[in-house]
């Protein structure tokens, strides 16, 4: 708690920290996963998406295992309502920290240019720091999350998951659906993402010109978020069923990594 009070000072950086912490939000990772797959490398993007889903699922399991409180739960009033709105379930390990360390650690390993590695390090570090500043995590939650995320990124960078055959893809979808019936919402979502990338092929071509890249990015993000928000209009009583969330994120992922790239390639690439 002393660490939180020390880094917060008079709290004047609250708005800046909220902006930074949102770099580790679900919407931000939709953008990162989609743009990287479309514009940089579909094959590496496939690996990133699979392991991202695995990483989120692991974080969900660890939160349930440790079941620790967050700072504002121990000291009510410590965090603002806006900060609390960025928090989910248990405290340890920090999901924001773990996800940022994984994604940016993975990308830094795949593109080891000094300037890019520094940027990746800063993004992960700032997101982690923002969680402490906003009083939604203790320092140990963040440090453990960063460590786990970095470890998974190192494993993912060195272990390539092959493209599945058709029968294996069908089995993966069915197994994911069966497991999601008994899983929590966060776990079901992460499975939907992981399996969407797992059953994708990642064999489409990236745009060759800057104009094509801009068009793909703008059109693609508009369509993906359109599907994302439209699927969120499902009645709440149904939307919050784990297996429905699994299917929602599975279909969203498939549209992003298979449907849209093949559709746009007919007109732009």
Q: What is the mean pLDDT of residues 257-263?
A: 88
Domain boundary among 125, 160, 195: 160
Structural domain span for residue 173: 162-269
d(C-alpha 173, C-alpha 93), whole Å? 28
CB neighbours of 245 closer than 8 A, spacing ≥ 6? Answer: 180, 185, 188, 189, 192, 239
pLDDT given at position 72: 83
Q: Are residues 27 and 112 in the same domain?
A: yes
pLDDT given at position 256: 92
How do residues 23-79 score in pLDDT, each as one tens digit? Answer: 999 899 999 999 999 999 999 999 999 999 999 999 999 998 888 888 888 888 777
Domain boundary among 116, 138, 160: 160
How do residues 79-105 score in pLDDT, each as one tens digit? Answer: 788 888 888 777 889 999 999 999 999
Q: Are residues 199 and 150 in the same domain?
A: no
Q: Which tokens go with 207?
A: 């745009």
Q: Are residues 170 and 156 in the same domain?
A: no
pLDDT given at position 184: 84
Is residue 231 scored above 90 in pLDDT?
A: no
Is residue 212 scored above 90 in pLDDT?
A: no
pLDDT given at position 76: 80
Domain boundary among 116, 144, 160: 160
Is residue 109 scored above 90 in pLDDT?
A: yes
How many domains, in total, are found in the chain? Answer: 2
Q: Are residues 171 and 132 in the same domain?
A: no
Q: Are residues 131 and 16 in the same domain?
A: yes
Task: State the average pLDDT for the chain.
Answer: 89
CA-CA distances (angstroms) from residue 99 to 28, 73, 166, 198? 11, 23, 30, 18
How do residues 2-23 score in pLDDT, each as one tens digit? Answer: 566 556 666 678 889 999 999 9
pLDDT given at position 8: 66
Q: Are residues 237 and 150 in the same domain?
A: no
pLDDT given at position 89: 78
Q: What is the mean pLDDT of residues 180-196?
A: 90
Higher local confidence (pLDDT), 97 or 235: 97
Reference 255, options 232, 213, 222, 233; nearest CA is 222
Q: Are residues 156 and 183 in the same domain?
A: no
Q: Are residues 36 and 110 in the same domain?
A: yes
pLDDT given at position 2: 57
d(C-alpha 69, C-alpha 231), whole Å? 32
Is residue 1 scored above 70 in pLDDT?
A: no
Name the DSSP class of 258.
Answer: I
Q: Are residues 30 and 15 in the same domain?
A: yes
Q: Are residues 182 and 139 in the same domain?
A: no
- Go through the chain and tell me how many residues it has: 269
Q: Are residues 110 and 188 in the same domain?
A: no
Q: Are residues 144 and 178 in the same domain?
A: no
Residue 153 pLDDT class (50, 70, 90 cuts): very high
Dihedral sign computed on CA atoms, order 192, 197, 198, 201: positive
């Amino acid at each position: 708690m002393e660490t939180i009070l020390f880094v917060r000072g008079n709290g004047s950086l609250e708005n800046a920290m909220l902006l930074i912490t949102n770099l580790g939000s679900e919407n931000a990772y939709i953008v990162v996963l989609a743009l990287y797959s479309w514009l940089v490398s579909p094959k590496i993007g496939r690996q990133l998406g699979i392991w991202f889903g695995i990483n989120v699922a692991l974080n969900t399991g660890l939160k349930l295992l440790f079941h620790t409180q967050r700072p504002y739960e121990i000291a009510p009033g410590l965090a603002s309502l806006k900060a609390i709105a960025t928090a989910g379930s248990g405290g340890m390990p920090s999901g924001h920290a773990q996800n940022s360390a994984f994604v940016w650690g993975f990308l830094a390993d795949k593109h080891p240019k000094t300037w890019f590695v520094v940027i990746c390090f800063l993004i992960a570090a700032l997101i982690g720091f923002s969680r402490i500043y906003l009083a939604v995590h203790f320092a140990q939650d963040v440090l453990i999350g960063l460590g786990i995320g970095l470890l998974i990124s190192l494993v993912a960078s060195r272990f390539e998951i092959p493209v599945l055959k058709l029968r294996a893809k069908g089995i993966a979808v069915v197994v994911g659906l069966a497991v999601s019936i008994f899983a929590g919402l966060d776990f079901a979502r992460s499975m939907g993402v992981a399996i969407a990338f797992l059953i994708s092929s990642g064999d489409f071509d990236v745009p060759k010109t800057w104009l094509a890249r801009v068009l793909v990015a703008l059109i693609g993000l508009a369509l993906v978020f359109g599907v994302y928000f439209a699927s969120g209009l499902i009645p709440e009583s149904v939307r919050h069923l784990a297996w429905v969330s699994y299917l929602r994120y599975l279909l969203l992922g498939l549209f992003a990594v298979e449907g849209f790239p093949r559709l746009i390639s007919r007109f732009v690439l």
